[in-house]
Amino acid sequence: MTSHQLSSGDLTADRRAQYARLYAEGGDYTAAADLQAQALELTPAWAAGWHGLGDYREKSGNLAGAAEAWRKVLALSPVDIFGAGLKLSLTGQAEAPSIPPSEYVEALFDDYSARFDTALVNNLDYRVPQRLAALISEAAGEHTLFAKTIDLGCGTGLFGERIRHMTSWLEGYDLSQGMLAKATDKGVYDHLGQADILYGITAARRQGAAPADLVAAADVFAYFGDLDPVMAVAAKLTADNGLLALSLEAGADDCDWLLQASLRYCHGENYLLRVLERHGFDVLSVSREPIRRDGANTISGLLAVARKRPDMRATTGDKVTVVPQTAPQTIAIN
């Protein structure tokens, strides 16, 4: 989070922090932690400095010391743009939250926006946009033209570029202004808005805007543990018989959700199917496949396409009434 690690305000402290970074780059995290602690003796209210100390201590194996530093970060910066609370949970010092702080996600992607496309596509072999677009085409028909598409967590527009030819209207929403600026430059969206998916989509959309016949969340739900709240939002945005397409990082079959060392969440396939059913979606396809690299490792993902039932299945006691299905609301290209 480079933009949040600016000067501490003290030249001597900054110099020691710089030496600490050099030791860390060389793999000597114990020495890095010692120098960072010296810097913080001079600037004890420097939240970013405590965040760095926590990371150095963690990498040196001093988990108790890391937890102490991250608690200091939270005391100095309660909005937690550094994700200190997430790191405390990974070291067993706190319960894992079901979602990360929105301020942390916004800061993360604002800092990442300038190099996002190059890092993901060229360096990490990121495959979600093209693969999700292909699964949508298979589910809806190769020559389908959607009347309206909503791209949740649109980022720089990587998925928007892939789906533009399949939709008459494309709108995208993201928490990060930096990401939205990059998406704007690509010129593929009819409407873009800054919004927190859980709390801000309604306000960010144009007044009276209708639901979409395609809602997509490409590499977005990995920033949510409990999927119920965000799936409820997706269901409201999806028109009857419309499609929802999404990707997740794949967890074990018996896993609901789990916070990983990457500070992203993975989910089990059975859990995903239950959540989709609960929110009124019939699954058309689920694919487990590689979605990107992470160092020497390949990250496996779940890519799903589901259709929203015209009405939720009404359940009374043990009796379940199923509303008949009709064709998707799409326009065929001649």
Residue range 184-202, pLDDT digits in tens: 999 999 999 999 998 888 7
pLDDT at 99: 79
Here the tokens at position 78 are 């309660």
What is the Cα–Cα distance from 284 to 98, expressed in whole angstroms? 27
Residue range 318-334, pLDDT digits in tens: 333 333 333 333 333 32
What is the Cα–Cα distance from 67 to 173, expressed in whole angstroms? 34
3-state secondary structure of 47: helix
Mean pLDDT of 250-269: 92
Query: Given pLDDT bands bounded at 50, 70 and 90, which one contains residue 116?
Result: low
Whether 6 has a pLDDT exceeding 80, the answer reads no
The three-point CA angle 151-230-254 to 5° equals: 115
pTM over 0.85: no
Whether 2 has a pLDDT exceeding 60, the answer reads no
Domains with residue ranges and CATH for the chain = 2-95 (1.25.40.10), 115-332 (3.40.50.150)
Between residues 106 and 314, the one the model is more confident about: 106
Amino acid identity of 55?
D
pLDDT at 10: 84
DSSP 119: I
Look over the chain and give the mean of its residue pLDDT values, rounded to a whole number. Answer: 85
137 touches 156 (CB < 8 A) = no
Continuous H helices in 77-189: 84-90, 102-112, 116-117, 128-140, 158-163, 177-186
